[in-house]
């Protein structure tokens, strides 16, 4: 009976970049557009520093620095994948600003990106922001207008 009165924790996810927010289904990569890794949104960046989209622990930064994951204290896992096929750049154009295991607050600089270089290599800069453990999500509201609140996620716990 007590569990009926427990409030679901809402996590507000911020865009890691300034820019236009679009639906994940518009990403020109079926891994993201088909929601194979999870659901979310994407941003077409107009700034060059990837910021922490929420408070949490940096649980993964790919060795090429093109993507990172952050896990909230409630266990929500958020993946930020900078650009498409950018793993093929082997880390060129990306500078890591924090290390795996770092506890960060929303808005903390995580990766510096040279988007001019990425574009010159023919890569799309669109950046998916994906909740990778949708099994713990009770509901999620997507917002394409306010970069401070691109996702509002209630978890089941």
109-147, pLDDT tens digit by residue? 999 999 999 999 999 999 999 999 999 999 999 999 999
**Which candidate, 115, 146, 3, places its Cα nearest to that of 50?**
115
CA 121 distance to own-chain centroid: 23
State yes or no: pLDDT of 17 exceeds 60. yes
pLDDT band at 8 (very low <50, low <70, confident <90, very high): low
pLDDT, residue 4, reads: 44
pLDDT, residue 10, reads: 93
State yes or no: pLDDT of 2 exceeds 60. no
State yes or no: pLDDT of 7 exceeds 60. no
What residues does each domain of the chain span? Answer: 14-132
Q: Does domain 14-132 have CATH number 3.40.50.300?
A: no
| Strands of the sheet with 10-13, listed across from one edge | 10-13, 151-155, 137-142
**Which candidate, 143, 132, 106, 152, places its Cα nearest to that of 31?**
132
Which positions are annotated as active-site residues?
A: 81
Round to whole Å and give the CA distance between 26 and 154: 24
pLDDT, residue 13, reads: 98
State yes or no: pLDDT of 28 exceeds 60. yes
pLDDT, residue 117, reads: 98
| Strands of the sheet with 19-23, listed across from one edge | 19-23, 39-45, 127-131, 77-81, 67-71, 56-61, 103-104
């Amino acid at each position: 009976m007590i569990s009926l009165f427990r409030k679901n924790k809402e996590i507000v996810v911020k865009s890691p970049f300034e820019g236009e927010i679009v639906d994940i289904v518009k990403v020109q990569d079926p891994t993201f557009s088909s929601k194979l890794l999870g659901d979310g949104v994407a941003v077409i960046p107009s700034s060059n520093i990837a910021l922490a989209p929420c408070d949490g622990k940096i649980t993964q930064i790919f060795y090429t620095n093109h993507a990172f994951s952050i896990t909230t204290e409630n266990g929500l896992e958020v993946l930020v994948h900078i650009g498409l096929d950018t793993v093929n750049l082997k880390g060129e154009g990306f500078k890591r600003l924090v290390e795996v295991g770092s506890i960060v607050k929303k808005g903390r600089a995580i990766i510096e990106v040279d988007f001019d270089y990425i574009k010159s290599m023919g890569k799309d800069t669109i950046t998916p922001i994906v909740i990778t453990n949708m099994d713990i999500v009770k509901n999620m509201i997507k917002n394409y207008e306010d970069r401070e609140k691109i996702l509002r996620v209630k978890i089941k716990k």
